[in-house]
Amino acid sequence: MADNGSTPPPPPPGRNPRLPGRSDGGWPRWSAWIVVGVLVALLTASAMLNQPAGTELTYSEFLEDVREGQVDSVTVDNTNARISGEYREDNAVTGTFRTTGPAEISDEDLATLRGNNVAVDFETPTPNWFLSLLPLFLPFMIVIGFFWWMAKRQQSQMGGIMSIGRSKAKTYTSERPGTTFDDVAGYKSVKKEVTEVVDFLSDTTKFAEIGARIPKGVLLVGPPGTGKTLIARAVAGEAGVPFLSVTGSDFMEMFVGVGASRVRDLFQEARKMGKAIIFIDEIDSIGRKRGAGMGGGHDEREQTLNQMLAEMDGFEATEGIVMMAATNRPDILDPALLRPGRFDRQVVVPLPELDDRRQILGVHMKHKKIDPDVDVEVIARGTPGMSGADLANLVNEAALYAVRAGAKQISALHFDQARDRVIMGVKRDSLVMSGPEREMTAYHEGGHALCAALLPGYDPLHKVTIIPTGMALGVTMTLPEEDRHSMRKTQAENMIIMALGGRNAEQLVFDVVSSGAANDLQQATNIARRMVTEWGMSDQIGPMSLSGGGPVFLGDDMMGTKEFSEDTARLVDEEVHKILTDMEDRCQRLLSDNRHALDLIARNLLEKETVTGEEVNRLIATATSTTSPATEPIAP
């Protein structure tokens, strides 16, 4: 890597960058001001040169000096009656003088001059040629300057139009401090995948000696916010080569052929640099399958993709140019873009695991004032499924909560509040529930909490609250101990039971069914349907996948039909209904057998509004040791 001195980085080879102070690469903008300054200086100098030197006198003082015999000679200007002269050398006052006389000197004054032996000379000076021609040429100069300005303006506009086909890639040269793998927290497997690219760009000889060919293109695939662009920049920083970054939308313009022209200019610029990394972010915007949808096969996007495919075939792997791209939709990319010789290596950048989240949180918490009671392990366990961008937002939200509370450090409470806001939404303190509605909400959330605490193998209960948050009137939150990558049938059934816990608690205590369980029913039905159609967890359907194909895009698969019969669809509905009713029966038995614990949890929720998982477990243990459970609803 280059040093981080004060020497500015040289411009990229092959480019003629616009110099500072120039509007279009021609004359500098300040050149016009220099011309105006020179003209003003010439006019001022001409006027000053025409002014005679000497002491300024009034005409009366001049005549008085003549009568006293102090004046030796005078010169009268016939054009402006200006009089200049010299004093006698034997006088006390010597030197020159100047004054302004009448338009025509009288005979009496002339007689006074001659009587005192003053040499009188009348002259008509030749006018300054520059000042004489200036009134004639000034209108022409103004007209010529106007047309010159219009021509330059038109040329600038035409230059912008003619340069529309140039690449809009941002170039990060190796002279600038680059991003390295040390700046990317976690993702050891991803770094290992792209290390070969770094080794190739750093030393191509060891690959050439054995005959190995480095992949031309590396496609980074992963959900949004996982740091795909950061990883690509880290590869360039580790290899110490220029990095050209461009997004897929930069190739698209309203003019036909602009995208293909920008692709050609991008590759030409990379070739002039020798070794370089071309990074295209959101490549799915131009790399979608050709011929899909109603637009036909000859639109601007497809021509841009065709040009990119041709350019990737036009350079050899030994040239030292590696293409990297990022997308979160690899399923919609054109197959020609992914074949060997183009983007023939795909590197998956998944959502961070527990250890990765711990490292990412450590990076974002490094320069913030964190209270010693904050446990990064607990925060990492409570953020499954969050990307690096989500974790950065979580830390920032915690800092904002600390500022609002007037705290000097960010505590664990602030992180807990930030996680609730990010996952569930903002607490609606302005929402006031009536007494019966608040009581029903307490039993609803108590049913969820009781099921989560008693179901074997379920995620530990973190807290339950009846404070309206987001779109929900209450929330029950569990905290997984580890990331889950697969799901067993018992785990899926427990999730359905936990989702139905609120609805069954309302029905058990109040013998009513409310609309508060709409989202719970949606989640339970979705899990049950996936058990039948995707996971093969139905005895009647068996090991068969009935899920649809890929996602619909640009009209592709728009006319697709279901791949199973109506009888099978009816059987799927019956199986889903059977799973939901079976899990509802189990949920009702669980709540009935632990009715006293449900009442205790609801009572504490009505008193405290928020109850932690440890308190719920303690209440369940207390209810288990009690022999006389309550049978009536708790009054608010």
Phi, psi of 4 (to 5 degrees): -105, 45
**452 contacts 461 by C-beta, under 8 angstroms:** yes
What is the DSSP annotation of 315-350?
S-GGG-EEEEEEES-GGGB-HHHHSTTSS-EEEE--
Spatial distance between the Cα atoms of 153 and 24, rounded to a whole number of angstroms? 9
Give the pairing of strands 96-100 and 217-221.
unpaired
What is the DSSP annotation of 563-588?
SS-HHHHHHHHHHHHHHHHHHHHHHH
Query: CA-CA distances (angstroms) from residue 232 to 48, 190, 269, 324, 517?
Result: 68, 11, 19, 7, 45
CA neighbor of 443 nearest in space, from 499, 509, 495, 500: 509
| 3-state DSSP of 360-371 | HHHHHCCCCCEC
| 3-state DSSP of 242-311 | CEEEEEHHHHCCCCCCHHHHHHHHHHHHHHHHCCEEEEEECHHHCCECCCCCCCCCCCHHHHHHHHHHHH
Catalytic center residues = 445
Beta-bridged to residue 347, according to DSSP, are 220
AA letter at 355? D
Question: Quick one: how far is CA 330 from the chain centroid?
Answer: 22
Query: CA-CA distances (angstroms) from residue 582 to 526, 577, 585?
Result: 15, 9, 5
CB atoms inside a 10 Å sphere around CB 288: 22
AA letter at 582? D
Spatial distance between the Cα atoms of 80 and 155, rounded to a whole number of angstroms? 50
Which tokens belong to 473? Answer: 């009137």
**What secondary structure letter does DSSP report for 68?**
T
Spatial distance between the Cα atoms of 283 and 187, rounded to a whole number of angstroms? 22
CA neighbor of 191 nearest in space, from 183, 181, 199, 200: 181
Burial 212-248 (b: 16+ CB within 10 A, else e): eebbbbbbbbbeebbbbbebbbbbbbbbbbbbbbbbb
Spatial distance between the Cα atoms of 25 and 46, rounded to a whole number of angstroms? 35
- Which strands sit side by side in the sheet containing 610-612, from one edge to the other? 475-478, 461-465, 610-612
Beta-bridged to residue 98, according to DSSP, are 56, 84
**633 contacts 439 by C-beta, under 8 angstroms:** yes
CB atoms inside a 10 Å sphere around CB 35: 12
**What secondary structure letter does DSSP report for 627?**
S
